[in-house]
Each structure stands twice: as C-alpha cells, then as structure tokens.
Amino acid sequence: MKIIVNKALLGEAANLLARVINPKNALPILGDVLFDVKNNEVTLTASDSEVTMSTTIGLDTMEGEGRFCVSADQLRASLAELTDEKVTIIATTESDNKFTLQHQSGETYFPIDNADEYPLPKSETLPEPVSLEGIQVRDALKRSLWATATDDLRPIMNGVCFALKDGWLDVVTSDGHVLVKSHINAIKGAKITDEFRFIIPKKAANILSGVLSGDPVKVSWNEHSCRMEFWPYTLDMRLVEGKYPNYDAIIPTDQPLTAIVPRAFALCSLKKVLPFSSDNQGSHLIRLSFTKDRMKMTAEDFDFAKGSHDSFYIDYPHSEIEIGVSGSRLAAILSKLSGGEMQMGMTDPSRAITFEPNEQDEDCEVLMLTMPMLLNE
C-alpha cells in the first residue's frame, strides 16, 4: 500500500489525536493511531476506549487499500522536523509489517500493528444532531473547566454538564465549593422545547476547548453516548453516568448586598496579598472587608508571623460586612471572568457569593459562585 499525503494536515491530525491517548494503557495498541485507507482518503482514529476521535484527509495518490496501526509517538516524531509539503507512506502489511515514511531528504520506518486488534467502540444509533455555535461552546468550556472536581466517589462532578432548553445551552461545572455556569444562545436551527441534560467527560471537554472554532459543532447523543462533529473531526465519547445536581437551586435568587468591583484592581490586589496567606490545604484564606465605597483584602499566616492587606475603591452603598474566601478559587474566578467591572452578590458571611460581569453579553450570561470560608475572629 502506498499513499502520498499533505504533511501539514497529517502532522496536525497526529498531534491532535495524541490528546486522546493515555500515557499508560492496559492495551498497548491504544497507544496507536489507526489508519484506514480507501476511496482516495485516509481516516485516522485514536481512542482510549472512552473517548474516540477521528478525521479524514484526502490523498494525492493511493495505491491499494487497507487498515493498519502505528505508534502515535513514533508517527509524530517522524513528522516533527519535516518541512516537505507532501510525504509518501508505504505500508507493507502482508510481509514485514513495516511503516515507511519517505520525505525529500530521507526516510523513517517503524513497525505496523494489526488493525484487527484495535478496540473501536461499538457503533450506536444516535438521533438527529443539534447544531451549536462552536466559538461559544469553546469559550464556555475554557471559562469553566477549572471548576470541575477530581472526586472518584462522585464521578458526575468530574465532568461538564450540558443542559439544553428553550433554545439555550447551559454549560456547568462544579466541585462542590465553586460553580461556573454559562447560559448561551448557541443552538441554531430547530428550537428545542424539551429539556435535555448530559455529562461529558473532562478529557473530551479539554480537547473541545482547544479545537473548536467559528465553525458549527453538530451534537447528537443518547442515554450513554455523545458524538460531536466539527470540521474536519469527529469526537465520540461515553457519557458520564448519573444525574447532575440541580445547579439552579444552589444559585441565590435574592442577595441584598451587591458591589460593583473593578475586576483588574481586584485581581491586582489579590496578587499582592495571596503570597502571605495561610496555606491551609491549598485554600489560602482571604478576608474580604466591605465598607462604604471600599474593599480591603487581608491575608494572614500566624504560624509564620506574616500578613498583608490591600484596598481599592468600589461601588458599595450597603452596611459593612466581612467574608472569608479561598484565595486560590477567587484568583481563578477573577482570571476567567471577562469585562472591566464585575458584580458581586452577597447575603451574609455564611452564604454563597456570586460573581457576574457587570454588563452581560446578550447571547451569553455568565455566573460564577463560591462558598465562603469560616473566619476566625
């Protein structure tokens, strides 16, 4: 079998498919990329048995058809330093099982594995896809992935919840201490009146956050599986089983204390005091003190006799209040939230604090929430 293929397209596909592959696999062949050559095209596939990604590349020349597997690491290494526009691949699957990549100044060769041993997931019938705006889904994932959990006892919290209703999509993550919700007008085509919820695994979400663009992404799913198609890739995944918590019930509906805070000033102030906070299991307690038109951040570590505080002007016309928060979580919120000013919503020192851009986009409403920490008097 001999094919001539565009080196740039092959290299890009090899690098992206490698994101699916685990560093260590129970089955060594899951460290491979599957080649399927037919109809003057080559389809490349990578899988970890839970998430499977594939793409198809047109060929300049094809002599013979067939399927074979090669090491993803060796494939990437063979392409990494090449500047050729085209490369020639020769696969001898009936004699010495050798993959040979020929380029302008030389060639590289390494073994071929049997494609019949590659464990592709069972094909499932999925309903008609829903078309979503790729950029909005990508941005929602980038904004929220940091808030997923790493909890083996509650795997549903490790994934990303997609909820579709009334033509809008909620992308939600939470680890029980923080919550990020993006309510986006991303659905194009037929309006969805029924509500659907499913949970995609974190690995798939990470891949999507790095590759989605202005092109639409077509999403189809059933009870167990989900497929996302975005040119020129297809991502199939096994959904995380279980029911995601009712996140809307966690979000406060009435917060009498609101502050309009310049986000950049808050982030700068936090960076000044955070190094002097107590590293209590990585939480870094920060005391937020709200007085009329001013906010002060205080960090203290009594064990090492160190501390710091910093203040700046805000719009806060309410009674004074002090609330404790995790500095590491607050830093993530301030970094991921967009806009020059944000609105903080509070009730009392024991209830959730919400963060929203002061001016929301009409097609995307963003809310972040963190639970407070106990302050020592």
Q: Is the pLDDT of residue 279 over 90?
A: no
Q: How confident is the model at residue 195 (pLDDT cuts 50, 70, 90)?
A: confident
Report which of 148, 205, 141 is spatially closest to residue 177, judged by C-alpha positions: 148
Question: Helix or strand or coil: residue 265?
Answer: helix
- Residues 198 and 239: beta-carbon distance below 8 Å: yes
Enter the tokens of residue 90: 């020769």
- Quote the pTM value: 0.92
pLDDT band, very low/low/confident/very high, at 377 (cuts 50, 70, 90): low
Residues with Cβ within 8 Å of residue 61, at least 6 apart in sequence: 2, 3, 4
Torsion on CA atoms 234, 238, 240, 242, rounded to nearest 10: 130
Q: What is the DSSP letter of 39?
A: T
Q: What angle do CA 300, 304, 308 make, to 5 degrees?
A: 30
DSSP, res 373: B
Q: Is residue 36 scored above 90 in pLDDT?
A: yes
Residue with more model confidence, 356 or 128: 356
pLDDT of residue 193: 58
CA 178 to chain centre: 16
Task: List the beta bridge partners of residue 307.
Answer: 300
Structure confidence at residue 26 (pLDDT): 84
255-289 b/e (C-beta count within 10 Å ≥ 16 → b) = bebbbebbbebbbebbeebbebbbeeeebbbbbbe
Out of 7-21, 31-45, 110-124, 149-163, which region has the weakest mean confidence (pLDDT)?
110-124
Measured at the CA of 312, the angle between CA 307 and CA 304, to 5 degrees, comes to 5
163 by DSSP, 3-state: which?
strand
The secondary structure of residue 263, as a DSSP letter, is: H
Amino acid at site 208: L
Distance CA 209, CA 186 (A): 15
226-268 confidence digits (pLDDT tens):
999 999 999 999 999 999 999 999 999 999 999 999 999 999 9
Is residue 312 pLDDT above 90, yes or no? yes
Is residue 57 scored above 60 in pLDDT?
yes
pLDDT attached to residue 201: 97
